[in-house]
């Protein structure tokens, strides 16, 4: 007779081992994972750090997306400073950064002759020959400032304004300061040239990034333009102002004076432009060429009276 353990219907099972290895390993693994999580550093760029405001984000402000903001800042910024200093309108001087004072040119020539200078003797001699324009520009700015300071007006009128750089721009600012007036400099950021001189009044030295915003402030505030001898930049400003007047985009009547008959007669042949029919004969009446400080001073001051600049303060086009 068969016992129960021998019954064919009895299911045999393996005895379960009662070792402690399995449960102990699972607990250790969980503990290790928790410790690893606790030791993981919290990123510093998460919500625990306050985000940068966009108007203080240098990366954004210098990006293409923020270009409209940069342009507007070069409009409203100068506008605010000029209003604070009560600058009503200007007389603009354009001219070369390379035409220096006679004293500086004489020193440069002496160094060039001894081989110590950075320019050749020939170039130093050329600059010395042109240095009289520096002295005359300085004297003209001084006389115009003395004249404007004597006017009875509520705001500061006919303030001398230049491109803010060295050379003839510095001469204009220097003359204004020597006369006791304010002196305005509208500089531009350039890779290889000085952008501001020592004769610009405190807080009135501006540096623009955009050429067209700088040109706007030259044109908008000006009651007169004096164009001294110069290079590409000076020619650019001259032709742009003449174009604005010729086309009527600048509706205000302003005296435009080219200083230095010998220079301008050689550099631009306006009569040839008339002969070729590319400008009209009356277009050459948009400007006056002067060859002395007296002639330039008399023309500018008389034209400001005749053209209405004296009676209509403030900017405009």
pLDDT tens string 184-201? 999 999 887 667 899 999
Domains of the chain: 80-100+134-306 (3.40.50.450)
**Are the CB atoms for 172 and 93 separated by under 8 Å?**
yes
Alpha-carbon gap, residue 127 to 21, rounded angstroms: 97
Task: Work out the percent of the chain whose per-residue pLDDT is above 70.
Answer: 84
Q: Furthest-apart CA pair in the chain: how many Å?
A: 149
pLDDT tens string 103-112? 999 999 999 9
Question: Higher model confidence: residue 262 or residue 35?
Answer: 262
| Axis crossing angle, helix 121-130 with helix 102-113, rounded to the nearest 10 | 170
**Are the CB atoms for 310 and 304 separated by under 8 Å?**
yes
Number of C-alpha atoms within 13 angstroms, CB side, residue 308?
Answer: 7
- What residues does 243 pair with on adjacent strands? none
The whole model's pTM is what?
A: 0.82
Q: What element of type H or E holds 72? A: helix 67-84
**Are the CB atoms for 182 and 204 separated by under 8 Å?**
yes
Distances (CA, A) of 187 to 98, 146, 178: 16, 24, 21
Q: Hey, what are 161's tokens? A: 């304004």
């Amino acid at each position: 007779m068969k016992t129960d353990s021998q019954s064919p219907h009895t299911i045999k099972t393996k005895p379960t081992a009662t070792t402690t290895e399995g449960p102990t390993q699972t607990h250790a693994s969980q503990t290790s994972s928790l410790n690893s999580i606790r030791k993981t550093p919290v990123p510093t760029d998460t919500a625990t750090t306050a985000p940068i405001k966009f108007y203080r984000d240098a990366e954004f402000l210098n990006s293409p997306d923020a270009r409209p903001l940069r342009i507007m800042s070069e409009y409203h910024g100068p506008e605010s400073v000029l209003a604070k200093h009560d600058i009503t309108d200007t007389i603009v001087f354009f001219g070369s950064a390379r035409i220096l004072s006679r004293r500086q040119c004489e020193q440069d020539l002496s160094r060039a002759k001894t081989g110590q200078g950075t320019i050749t003797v020939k170039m130093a001699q050329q600059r010395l020959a042109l240095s009289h324009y520096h002295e005359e520009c300085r004297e003209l700015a001084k006389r115009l400032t003395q004249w404007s300071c004597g006017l009875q007006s509520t705001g500061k009128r006919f303030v001398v304004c230049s491109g803010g750089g060295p050379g003839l721009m510095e001469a204009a600012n220097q003359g204004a300061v020597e006369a006791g007036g304010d002196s305005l400099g509208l500089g531009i950021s350039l890779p290889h040239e000085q952008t501001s001189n020592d004769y610009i009044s405190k807080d009135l030295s501006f540096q623009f990034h955009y050429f067209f915003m700088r040109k706007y402030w030259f044109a908008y505030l000006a009651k007169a333009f004096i164009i001294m001898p110069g290079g590409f930049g000076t020619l650019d400003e001259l032709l742009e102002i003449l174009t604005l007047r010729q086309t009527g985009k600048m509706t205000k009547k302003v005296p435009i004076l080219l200083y230095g008959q010998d220079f301008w007669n050689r550099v631009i042949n306006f009569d040839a432009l008339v002969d070729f029919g590319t400008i009209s004969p009356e277009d050459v009446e948009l400007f006056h060429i002067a060859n002395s400080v007296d002639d330039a001073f008399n023309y500018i001051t008389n034209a400001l009276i005749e053209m209405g600049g004296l009676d209509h303060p403030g900017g405009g086009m």
